[in-house]
Structure 1
């Protein structure tokens, strides 16, 4: 919807996160909701949306909820600061049928993230799982049991993952991430980090 395009990426991300978790429905994404979100400072808007997710709260009237929360949050909001050797990063869980966007969480930083800390918001941790959010196991047989998830993994690795106005592309994985069915993705708009 055109009305949501002016929103800052972090707000659009949290909006899509609440949608992917079914705490809000697309029907509620009206021009009035976009207007309320655009009027708020991005940090405040994303914190309100993040609260919906952390509280596992289904919102039946998004417009009224946002208006009420915006009025409550009159105090200035401050960005969160992660402990040493940690960063707040976004994580996405890809299943055969959907993509679940997780709110930013504290992750232990690695050498690459520390080197490119100024563009950390362009990194994305991606985990591939089945619908029950269990790890995907290869049985080493000719079974077609996991074909849907394998196709989804292949599509994500080759075409990237689109979130808002960004497309995240496969960057790398470590041995431990490979065991966990996860990988790092990066949006090239943030510059060009290279893996050494």
Structure 2
């Protein structure tokens, strides 16, 4: 049952409140982004199946208010790409129990391992797969870390669009980074 307010000012608050609730219900988690690529690209032989060729190096942990930003450099097929993942609502443990990392601030931090199902994420990668397939859709779904990408104008109509299902998602570099964080115990 929807509440029908009588005056315009109250109606605006209710609509704004409904939009906030809708946005919270549709939060982008890593699990949702990963699931989207399987739904949107069911026949791919790359991306989630090609993470073995990705080498993640130079991981930096940047503690942010209420969260954790992870920056990394990955190498695949002779090219280097930068990734960023920002996890929201990361509980810090002052008692020393949990996963420990050295932050870019020079301090050792302890957190509860991050749940990929419950923690909201924003991601970005410098690879072309991410840029052309996911950046704009991730921006629309509030799952892109960074500025809005420029609008892409297709140059040909003889090939299918890069993201025909218009799903937000992640590339193989972000998948490999998350796998690495899982091995380190920062993610459960």
**TM-score per shorter chain, which class?**
under 0.3
Higher relative contact order (CA 8 A, sep 6+): 2
Q: In terms of Rg, which structure is larger?
A: 2
Using the size of structure 2 for normalisation, the TM-score is 0.22
Using the size of structure 1 for normalisation, the TM-score is 0.22
Higher helix proportion (structure 1 or 2):
1
